[in-house]
Structure 1
């Protein structure tokens, strides 16, 4: 593991009187159109919406991966996960070698060295062996499970991979419903936080399969259309987020807490990604564009919609900058600190170019142009041209319905060259695809 060099902790932060708490909330596999802040009438999410209402909503928020584990690796390191071979989901089997590269530094390590209590809850999906455990990767506290998915209800015979852990110790499964349990436990950590700033990474497995909901939540969605289990699971997710926000308010921490909410990748096939094309696993917008919002009252503008592209890689440098921590030079980050852009101190867009690679499925977005190559038959649709790169102008065609490749061959060649240069020095993926997309 990289040993962090000396950290320079600013004596005061230009934006806050004291180092802020930082809470990063991640939902799992939800559809792009399954939150009311996205305009989804069948999915009322008032508590999640409040993060956008009290801060900023990114209309073009992306993740660095098209499936669960790679996105988490990118978020934790602030670097394209392909740079260190974390291109696919970790196979759902115990391994001493498969996990988030020990040569990479996590945001939790940086914040911990800067005086933060670091708390992880929920889905980990970054390795099963002790050296990959959250407590070995910069977190001081952990409550959750290591595998990419598990039952929402107590399991009579949990496995080594999906058992519920407090720190490293298995605990009895006496909860009622996992989503509510994670919200409640997160609130307990906040209540006990004291004066020390904390970084909380709250990774819900909702609304990832299996599709399981409580009877009371199912009863609440009997009217209207849509997938009732997905709708009921989203009610629980929103409720749990509300428990966390309420505890921040009860402890008078709201104003000095940076809260980030995003989904981990595009919605899985069967969820509602309207109006985007594609779904989880693809590099079309429906596979990598996600609901993404951020609040920090008094620092970030309220109710602002940001239309410039941002990416989950930005969470690492933004959190570290908010904390007033300057790490000594190390491996270069691909994410950028969003605070100057969001507070009006920098006018340029955060990212002129973004990239994605999931095996033979790849994309590059430069300005408003996006070149997409989808080479997995299961991810194509009737509009696909057999895996040949397709070119779109996202500014006028976010649905990726009008392929411009034939009319603009120079742009196809230019973006293809950019993509090939970006991936030129990447290692081979550290493992093959982990089978089912979420495990």
Structure 2
């Protein structure tokens, strides 16, 4: 028997288009089916005329910004982020979006490999000193490796923080181009005497620092790349250092936010971040690329202390929600619904397989991915959650989320932080249990009343980490309880 979809099977992009259509639509009538088949045939024929009609892919990562400093997440009027919010309003927002690390470098390692970074010893931040050994494991395949092999032009922009030796350089990890700095933090202003680790590089060579403000510069660099990348699909990994310290803002942004209350430098830095994202979105629109560009937006970890993480408990570095839950939005106007909100937990590890599926790449990397392709879940509201269980580990600090229950341990806090049903303050080795569907702030410990669930989640965690190697470089050395 010959199926209609087989008639177009050897046309470029036909199979990915068919699969996406089958996920997005239901067929209550033969008329609707015929319409979709006609649309598919038309799209496939167009793709045959334009063999490079794979989607462009952009991954945008902000740095250390508070959960409530994005207006898509909260109601803080001091931090309006309309351009970032537009990614959610023009696509899908995940209310339970997570990253796999509690600090900068591990999250990046997980995102770019689609695998829990603990599996290959990348548990802590790469130390800020030159080393031939410390960096993203050379045994791991990156999303850039995969997309480059699929004929994408690939660029990393901004913060790298995955190793300083030449073998760890972005252009050795699948990126055809690079413009940014290798260290985890640097000034937002031009440096007269930059160090080897924080100097600005174009590809592998240092360049004169003639920009005004790094956040704006990275947005302009991304826009320039978009304008010059019409010959083939592109993948942009845009990793801002905003709003990581040092707290530096332009005078004009400080004037704009002055007098409104709150930390004015944080507000000014967030204003610049949102503006820079807008530069990228505007260039896509200018080049008529918006519809066929898949955009992901996440923050790299929970907000650092001093930022507004309301209503989450904890900050960067902890396995509380405040250390790992982040804004998470995806836009692809040609395929995804507009303004959809999903409550199922997702994680930054999912970016790799989702991008791979969108690009029509069917050959999996040698190492198995922990992430899940999110396209079916965004297109079909009847699908179950992508993940039943998620894990976090940063030395002695760990957490497991299974369904809506979360076990968390190792996060010492001042006794002033109140949690119901916790004795003796909050001993760092105590395992606490929360129902996140009712208690996003992790304020009501259920461990005493649900000991079986505590044991079950502890066992899940123990099984998950049993084969992990010793972290490749140091961090917390306290033995796990």
TM-score category of the 2 structures, normalised to the smaller one: over 0.9
CA distance in 1, matches of 2:433, 2:239: 34
- The Cα offsets for residues 23-47 of structure 1, whole Å up to 9 and x where unpaired, read as 0000000000001111221111111
Displacement of 1:197 = 0.1
Q: What displacement does 1:377 show?
A: 5.4
State the match for 1:355 in structure 2: 391
Structure 2 gaps, min length 5 = 1-9, 21-42, 48-52, 420-424
Q: Does 1:200 align with 2:236?
A: yes
**Alpha carbons 2:79, 2:271 under 8 Å: kept:** yes
Q: Aligned pair 1:288/2:330, yes or no?
A: no
Partner of 2:467: 425
Residue of structure 1 in register with 2:178 after alignment: 142
Q: Given the alignment, which residue of 410, 421, 426 partners 1:385?
A: 426
Superposed displacement of residue 380, structure 1? 9.2
Q: How many residues align?
A: 428
1:190 partnered with 2:226? yes
Q: What are the Cα deviations for residues 383-411 of structure 1, in whole angstroms up to 9, with x where unaligned? A: 45202010000000010000000111110
- Is the Cα contact below 8 Å between 1:56 and 1:302 reproduced in 2? yes
Change (3 A) 1:339 1:93: same
- Counterpart of 1:125 (choices 161, 166, 190) is 161
| TM-score, L = length of structure 2 | 0.87
Q: Secondary structure of the residue that 2:257 maps to in structure 1?
A: coil
Aligned to 1:395: 437
Match of 2:61 among 17, 23, 26: 26
Alpha-carbon shift at residue 381 of structure 1 (Å): 3.8
* Cα distance in structure 1, aligned partners of 2:369 and 2:446: 32
Distance 1:89 1:284 in 2: 18
Are residues 47 and 199 of structure 1, via their aligned partners in 2, closer, same or farther at CA, if it must alter by over 3 Å?
same
Shift in Å at residue 433 of structure 1? Answer: 2.4
For 1:105 and 1:9, the matched residues in 2 are separated by: 29
**2:63 touches 2:300 (CA, 8 Å); kept in 1?**
yes
2:126–2:135 Cα contact (<8 Å) kept: yes
Among 367, 381, 403, which residue is 1:367 paired with? 403
Residue in structure 2 matched with residue 5 of structure 1 by the alignment = none
> CA–CA distance in 2 between the matches of 1:329 and 1:187?
30
Cα shift readout 1:95-124 (whole Å, capped 9, x = no counterpart): 000000000000000000001001110000
Aligned to 1:4: none
Give the conservation status (yes or no) of the 8 Å contact 1:125–1:148: yes
Structure-to-structure mapping, 1:111-122, within 5 angstroms: 111-122=147-158
1:252 maps to 288
Residues 349 and 329 of structure 1, relative CA distance in 2, 3 Å threshold = same
Deviation at 1:224, TM superposition (A): 1.7
The answer for unaligned runs of 5 or more in structure 1 is 1-7
Conserved? CA contact 2:105–2:162, under 8 Å: yes
> By how many angstroms is 1:331 displaced?
1.2
Task: Choose which of 46, 49, 71 in structure 2 pairs with 1:36.
Answer: 71
* Contact kept? 1:179, 1:236, Cα under 8 Å: yes
In structure 1, the residue matched to 2:257 is 221
TM-score (norm 1): 0.95
Greater length-normalized contact order (CA 8 Å, ≥ 6 residues apart) = 1
Match for residue 58 of structure 1 among 71, 94, 98: 94
Question: Would you tell me which structure has more helix in proportion to its own residues?
Answer: 2
**What is the distance in 2 between the residues matched to 1:91 and 1:380?**
32
Instruction: Kindly indicate whether the alpha-carbon contact (under 8 Å) linking 1:98 and 1:430 is maintained by their aligned counterparts in 2.
Output: yes
CA contact (8 A) 2:284 2:290 kept: yes
2:416 and 2:387 map into 1 onto residues whose CA distance is 28
The residue number in structure 1 matching 2:39 is none
Q: Please say if residues 9 and 324 of structure 1, whose CA atoms lie closer than 8 Å, have aligned partners that are also in contact.
A: no
Q: Write the distance in 2 (CA, Å) between the matches of 1:38 and 1:9.
A: 42
SS at match of 1:297: coil
Determine the C-alpha separation between the residues in 1 that align with 2:312 and 2:287: 39
2:110 aligns to what SS in structure 1? Answer: helix
